[in-house]
Structure 1
Amino acid sequence: MEYRKIPGTDLNVSTITLGTMTYGSPVPFEDAVRLTEYAVSQGINIIDTANMYEGYNRTPGSSGGVAEEIIGAFLKKYDRNKVVIATKLGMKVGDAPEDEGTSAAAIDKHLELSMRRMQTDYVDIYYLHKPDPDSSLEDTLTTMNRKIKEGKVRYYGVSNYNAAQLSELIQTADRLDVARPVICEPPLSLLKQEALEELLPLCAKENIAVTPYQIFQGGLLTGKYHRGAQAPEGSRGSEMPGWLWKLEDGLYDQLEAIEAEAAKEGCTMLEYAIRWTLRQPAVVSAIVGVKKTSQIDAAVKA
């Protein structure tokens, strides 16, 4: 396993991040704990989760927390200081006003809930899961800075922010003389490259690490899908077709072109997708969601 430093921190993280969105369903609780243990045994030292994650059982506004509970069961048996835990708040996880967004009240409430579920007294990286137009950016950043001083958050980052939104946040943090974000988590793949236009150059300029998600675009870039064939059993296309792009000729044209590029490098499409991601500006690690150990092996091999 290779490791890269997150600028402005003492964190050296594996170039593969274990994603946990499938935890709970389709990956049952105990299987997910074992999968996490296996990932760490293979050198992966950063785990990405969120307070909303509960696998395919997720519905808008449902309470989430399942993936964090699984991480807690893992941490109960593992040396906490040897793994980097990243979680998030901001998506709707209940009916109270503070159950959505990144207000001071939301951070105060949901950080405590996340730590309780994960059986830890601090979070290494706490993400603002999405921009919150209904909350004061000043209050959000001063509250996050307070959590850092309290030792409950080591560093924070942003997810699903565009370049303009991240730039405004950085300027506000500098004006308030509070901590800047150290990491950014955007969607990025060979099929979805908008983040390369402005966001990743901004992160490179501001010395902010990037850990992209959806690097396989819902499984499309794993080599599972072929023109004229049914979605294979156990794939996103068979289990949750509504979560997958429409399979049509234009998309197959793209996939076949990417597969040809992978062949030129002497690797699989999955390996090529990971390698391409890790070559992009400011990227320190690629988030890989898994359901079985063989997927971890393939990611580590890449």
Structure 2
Amino acid sequence: MVQQVKLGWNGPMVSEVCFGSLAVSPLQGRVTFEEGVDVMRYAFERGVNIIDTAEIYANYDQIKAALQNFPEVRVISKSYAVTAQEMVQSIEKARKGLNRDVIDYFMLHEQESALTLKGHHEAWEELLKAKEKGMIRGIGISTHAVAGVRGGALQPGLDVIHPIINKAGLGIIDGSLQDMLEAIAFAAEMGLGMYAMKIFGGGHLAKAPEEAIDFVRSIPGIQGMALGMSTREEVDFNLNYIEGKPISEDLRQTVKYRERKLYIADWCQGCGRCVEICPQGALSMSVQREGCGEQAEVDPASCVLCGYCGRVCPHFCLKIV
């Protein structure tokens, strides 16, 4: 059984592994709807009792199907809402889409600092109201930024932070790995719940998954981690390792992490929407072929394969392969 941890001083007991549903969502397109449901159910059967999603993942219906017969599984969702009305709509969309009256945790998605939190103050106030009404049990933020963690730690009413953290510091947008560790330590002093994201650095660290997992587990203040898993074998590998169970060579070879990359089709029209939304600054515009004008270009070293760019491309030029 997966180890249970307390998510912050005042939070619930949950499994150390949170199912990161981006990997089975339409945003990444690795698996079919049915395959994704099967993998989630298998993880729940093995003791994972918390799942992470977001409005942008567009997979509420998939998670709803997986949650049938697993009412104890807690759900975390996130929204880019800025205004109060946008947040009301986001919360209702989650409640309806997941068929749940109460969402366990709801977050502001990708906050960069106290300044961006201030810009989302209407949405945050609406989260506080929803929590007071019992529609949400806890509220928080996700962030790729050191300043986001520090700002979140000081945000009134915040329960949980979902920070990017991995042994190489990949994906941190405003500082070093040491800066992020210090920010996490600061937030930990506040007694906040914290579960890590991108511990494999978007696949860049996946050749040594045990080392990546061990690093995050060793960080004081980080109680759990969201792991993206798209096959039963990946569930078995990750949970067996965390539970201290043996991993057969066959299983190791089956889940051997292959290199993935962001593919940009040659029919890119150069609209630049992907560049604007990329949280890592991994995309830019450049002249790829004479006479074709500008097209999007990716820096593989900076890309963490979140797939958010593909969501906004009007010509379906971007995908993870």
Tell me if both proteins adopt one fold, taking TM over 0.5 as the criterion: yes
CA drift at 1:190 = 1.2
Code of the aligned partner of 1:118: L
* Contact 1:15 1:278 survives alignment (8 Å): no
CA drift at 1:16 = 0.9
Partner of 2:74: 84
What CA distance in whole angstroms lies between the structure 2 residues aligned with 1:2 and 1:220?
A: 26
* Contact 1:130 1:161 survives alignment (8 Å): yes
1:183 equivalent among 160, 182, 185: 160
C-alpha distance after superposition, 1:145-192 (max 9, x if no partner): 11012211100111116454454455452xxxxxx2121111111121
Partner of 1:6: 7
Which is richer in helix? 1
Change (3 A) 1:79 1:105: same
Code of the aligned partner of 1:277: V
What CA distance in whole angstroms lies between the structure 1 residues aligned with 2:228 and 2:203?
A: 10
Code of the aligned partner of 1:270: P
Describe the SS at the equivalent of 2:55.
Answer: coil
Q: Is 1:128 the counterpart of 2:119 in the alignment? A: no
Q: Is 1:49 the counterpart of 2:65 in the alignment? A: no
* Contact 1:103 1:135 survives alignment (8 Å): no
CA drift at 1:130 = 2.2
Q: Is 1:39 the counterpart of 2:43 in the alignment? A: yes
Partner of 1:16: 17
What CA distance in whole angstroms lies between the structure 2 residues aligned with 1:170 and 1:137?
A: 16
Percent identical among aligned pairs is 21
Code of the aligned partner of 2:197: Y
Q: Is 1:278 the counterpart of 2:217 in the alignment? A: yes
* Contact 1:185 1:212 survives alignment (8 Å): yes
Q: Is 1:219 the counterpart of 2:219 in the alignment? A: no
Q: Is 1:296 the counterpart of 2:276 in the alignment? A: no
Change (3 A) 1:296 1:147: same
What CA distance in whole angstroms lies between the structure 1 residues aligned with 2:185 and 2:132?
A: 30
1:140 equivalent among 105, 114, 123: 123
Partner of 2:143: 160
2:61 equivalent among 69, 94, 115: 69
Code of the aligned partner of 1:291: S
CA drift at 1:127 = 1.1
Describe the SS at the equivalent of 1:22.
Answer: helix
What CA distance in whole angstroms lies between the structure 1 residues aligned with 2:122 and 2:153?
A: 14
Describe the SS at the equivalent of 2:23.
Answer: coil
* Contact 2:145 2:164 survives alignment (8 Å): no
Code of the aligned partner of 1:297: D
Partner of 1:150: 133
What CA distance in whole angstroms lies between the structure 2 residues aligned with 1:171 and 1:134?
A: 10
C-alpha distance after superposition, 1:200-224 (max 9, x if no partner): 012111111221111111222222x
Describe the SS at the equivalent of 2:132.
Answer: helix
Code of the aligned partner of 1:85: V
- In structure 2, runs of 5+ residues without a counterpart are 170-176, 242-321
* Contact 1:102 1:135 survives alignment (8 Å): no
Change (3 A) 1:295 1:165: closer
The 5 A counterparts of 1:187-266 are 187-192=164-169, 193=177, 196-223=180-207
What CA distance in whole angstroms lies between the structure 2 residues aligned with 1:111 and 1:102?
A: 13
Q: TM-score, normalised by structure 2?
A: 0.66
How many residues are paired up? 227
Q: TM-score, normalised by structure 1?
A: 0.70
Code of the aligned partner of 2:123: T
Q: Is 1:106 the counterpart of 2:73 in the alignment? A: no
Code of the aligned partner of 2:70: D
1:29 equivalent among 2, 22, 33: 33
Code of the aligned partner of 2:5: R
Change (3 A) 1:102 1:282: farther
What CA distance in whole angstroms lies between the structure 2 residues aligned with 1:195 and 1:297?
A: 33
* Contact 1:18 1:47 survives alignment (8 Å): yes
* Contact 1:185 1:213 survives alignment (8 Å): yes
* Contact 1:187 1:195 survives alignment (8 Å): no
Partner of 2:95: 115
CA drift at 1:137 = 4.8
* Contact 2:49 2:74 survives alignment (8 Å): yes
Change (3 A) 1:135 1:291: same
